[in-house]
């Protein structure tokens, strides 16, 4: 499944206006590349979508017989994206269970992931951003107390 650039652009505009961390993500399929090295050149095929920290986005796995490798490329799309550490990748349609791969983000505006072996089963691959806001804890967001130190145990239960 290929999503048009118009739809990706519309989705990016919507999340940018909402202040949600987002990346424009390419799921790339390769005939050949050096496993563990950044994927270079033009992939055999790619699917584009917008991954956020609050939604699970999916696309189909390209099952062309000539595909032997995968990679991911991320473009930080909103200013909030700098607080994201990476993209979780699942080999299912609903971001459930343990992820199958984690693509780290480096804070650079564009991150080309490394070449991976063919590890995905037929069906879907789904994506979700992992984001946290350093220095912000439940107490600082109005959960009570004088900050993230001390107070009730629940004050620091923000997951960041």
Q: Is residue 52 part of a domain?
A: yes
Q: Is residue 92 part of a domain?
A: yes
Which are the contacts of 60, defined by CB distance < 8 A and separation ≥ 6?
Answer: 1, 47, 123, 124, 125
- 92 versus 3: the higher-pLDDT residue is 92
Q: Is residue 60 part of a domain?
A: yes
Q: What is the pLDDT of residue 147?
A: 31
Q: Is residue 103 part of a domain?
A: yes
Mean of pLDDT values over 137-150: 29
Q: Whole domain around residue 31: which residue ranges?
A: 5-144
Q: Is residue 158 part of a domain?
A: no
From residue 154, how far is each of 93, 131, 136, 146, 148 by CA, in Å? 33, 20, 14, 13, 10
pLDDT digits (tens, 9 = 90+) for 124-133: 999 999 998 5
Asked if residue 88 lies in contact with residue 134, where contact means CB atoms within 8 angstroms, the answer is no
Q: What is the pLDDT of residue 18?
A: 54
Q: Is residue 156 part of a domain?
A: no
How many structural domains are present in the chain? 1
Q: Which helix (H) or strand (E) holds 8?
A: helix 5-18
Q: Is residue 108 part of a domain?
A: yes
Q: What is the pLDDT of residue 133?
A: 57
From residue 32, how far is each of 2, 26, 39, 58 by CA, in Å? 21, 17, 9, 24
Q: Is residue 150 part of a domain?
A: no
The pTM for the full model equals 0.72
Mean of pLDDT values over 97-115: 94
């Amino acid at each position: 499944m290929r999503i048009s650039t118009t739809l990706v652009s519309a989705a990016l505009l919507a999340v940018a206006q909402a202040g949600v961390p987002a990346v424009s993500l390419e799921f790339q399929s390769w005939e050949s590349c050096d496993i563990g090295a950044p994927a270079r050149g033009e992939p055999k095929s790619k699917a584009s979508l917008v991954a956020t920290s609050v939604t699970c986005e999916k696309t189909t796995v390209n099952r062309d017989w000539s595909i032997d490798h995968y990679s991911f490329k991320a473009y930080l799309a909103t200013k909030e994206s700098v607080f994201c550490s990476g993209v979780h990748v699942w080999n299912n349609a609903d971001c459930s269970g343990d992820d199958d791969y984690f693509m780290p983000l480096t804070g650079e505006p564009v991150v080309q992931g490394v070449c991976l072996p063919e590890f995905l089963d037929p069906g879907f691959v789904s994506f979700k951003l992992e984001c946290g806001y350093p220095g912000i804890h439940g107490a600082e967001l109005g959960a009570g107390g004088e900050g993230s130190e001390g107070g009730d145990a629940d004050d620091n239960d923000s997951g960041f």
